Amino acid sequence: MTQAIKINNLKYTYDDKDTVFDDFNLEINAGQWLALVGHNGSGKSTLAKLILGLIEADNGTITVFGEQLRIDTVHHVREQIGMVFQNPDNQFVGATVADDVAFGLENKEMPSSDMPNVIDEALTIVGMQDFKDREPHMLSGGQKQRVALASVLALQPKIIILDEATAMLDPDGRATVMATLQGLKQRFGSELTLITITHDMNEAMLADRVVVINDGQLILDGAPSEVFSQYDVMHHNGLELPFVGELAVRLDPKPDGYLDERELIKWLSDLKK
Ligand SMILES: Nc1ncnc2c1ncn2[C@@H]1O[C@H](COP(=O)(O)OP(=O)(O)OP(=O)(O)O)[C@@H](O)[C@H]1O
């Protein structure tokens, strides 16, 4: 199994006083969709910044596809990682959707004759091809985030990090972005590693793996059903379960372990028999 990211013995302190990570370790396999969760201030965005080389670790190593992040490798490492941020309105530079996707390609010095195909393909993947001549600020929040994803996809990253990319969206917008991510996973398989930083446990449910951090410490790490069966640990760390999990722990009798929506419905209907 190819390793996308390996973080070893990571230490990071802001301004020599606020230690966020001390001996933090994490390995992420290529093609995995990892949801990184933790309450406010637990270190999620700091970890994303460290992986992107926007800030430098005080100690330890971060290796991306076998290449250790250092001052002389940061540019190459960063080329392999796409980032989508929280605020859809802060991510646009182009006058039209197509211009916006083109911007990153121009920076990469792609010949302009190659661009239309690449732009069309990226917009098609996120279902925004019919909007390519629209002005970005006229789109809905969910559409904006899908264009932001297209801009990232056009650069063919091996890893995409979404830092609370759905936090400012309405339920429809959230659903379309999450469906787009599920589509990416199906389309790219082991060629694309996804890291979604989120406060929304219903979204984290869709990932292959959920990692819970608190104060820079890894608290839980496993498949969503494993992590969300740890109700007490989640609550102790200021986190809720996905809706069905919160519902299940309030039932009497309650099911053993975490059940997803379909399993919970079956469990309830069996109970009635
Ligand atoms: N630029 C900064 N300077 C100093 N301290 C910072 C800075 N950015 C973050 N911190 C501190 O580092 C810790 C981790 O912050 P971080 O933003 O990584 O958490 P987070 O899990 O992403 O939080 P949230 O869910 O609120 O976005 C917090 O204690 C925060 O106050």
pLDDT at 261: 86
Beta bridge mates, 162: 84, 196
Instruction: Please tell me the residue having the least CA distance from ligand 1 atom 1.
Output: 14
Residues near 240 by beta carbon (within 8 Å), at least 6 away in sequence: 201, 234, 246
Q: Write down the pLDDT at residue 89.
A: 85
From the CB of 54, is ligand 1 less than 6 Å away?
Answer: no
Ligand 1 pocket, 20 CB below 6 A?
yes
Residue 18: its pLDDT value, please? 87
Ligand 1: residue whose CA is nearest its atom 25: 40
Contact criterion met (CB below 8 Å) for 195 and 181: no
Contact indicator for 137, 94 with CB cutoff of 8 Å: no
131 CA → ligand 1 middle, Å: 36
Q: What integer pLDDT is reported at residue 93 of this predicted model?
A: 83
Per-residue confidence band for 272, with pLDDT thresholds at 50, 70 and 90: confident
Taking the C-alpha atoms of residue 178 and residue 206, their distance in angstroms, rounded to an integer, is 8
- Give percent of the chain with pLDDT exceeding 70: 100
**Backbone CA torsion sign across 211, 182, 69, 6:** positive
pLDDT at 16 over 90: no
Place 180 in a pLDDT band, splitting at 50, 70 and 90: very high
Rounded to the nearest angstrom, the distance between the alpha carbon of 47 and the centre of ligand 1 is 10
The pLDDT assigned to 258 comes to: 86
pLDDT over 80 (residue 273): no
Catalytic site includes residue 226:
no
CA-wise closest residue to 163 among 197, 194, 192, 205: 197
Q: Measured from the CB, is residue 41 less than 6 Å from ligand 1? A: yes
Which residue's CA is minimally distant from atom 4 of ligand 1?
14
Q: How far apart are the CA of 201 and the centre of ligand 1, in A?
A: 20
Q: Do residues 102 and 150 make contact, with C-beta atoms less than 8 angstroms apart?
A: no
Q: Among the atoms of ligand 1, which is closest to the Cα of residue 216?
A: 14
- Report, as an integer, the average pLDDT of 164-190: 94
Residue 127 has pLDDT above 80, yes or no: yes
Which atom of ligand 1 is least distant from the CA of 39?
A: 25
Residue whose CA lies nearest to ligand 1 atom number 30: 41
Contact 55, 49 (CB under 8 A): yes
Catalytic residue among 164, 226, 240, 246: 164
In this predicted structure, the answer to whether residue 227 has a pLDDT above a threshold of 90 is: yes
Q: Please report, rounded to a whole number, the percentage of residues in the chain having pLDDT higher than 90.
A: 84
Handedness of CA 71, 73, 75, 78 (dihedral sign): negative
196 C-alpha vs ligand 1 centroid, how far in Å? 17
What are the tens digits of pLDDT across the range 47-84? 999 999 999 999 999 999 999 999 999 999 999 999 99
pLDDT of residue 221: 98
Give 22's strand partners: 11
Q: What does the pLDDT look like over 85-109, one tens digit per residue?
A: 998 888 788 899 999 999 999 998 8
pLDDT tens digits, 194-225: 999 999 999 999 999 999 999 999 999 999 99
Q: What pLDDT is recorded for position 269? A: 92
Contact 145, 177 (CB under 8 A): yes
Q: Which residue's C-alpha comes closest to atom 28 of ligand 1?
A: 41
User: How high does pLDDT run on average in the chain?
Assistant: 94
Ligand 1 atom having least distance to the Cα of 42: 21
**Taking the model in full, what pTM does it have?**
0.93
pLDDT of residue 206: 94
Q: What is the pLDDT of residue 166?
A: 93
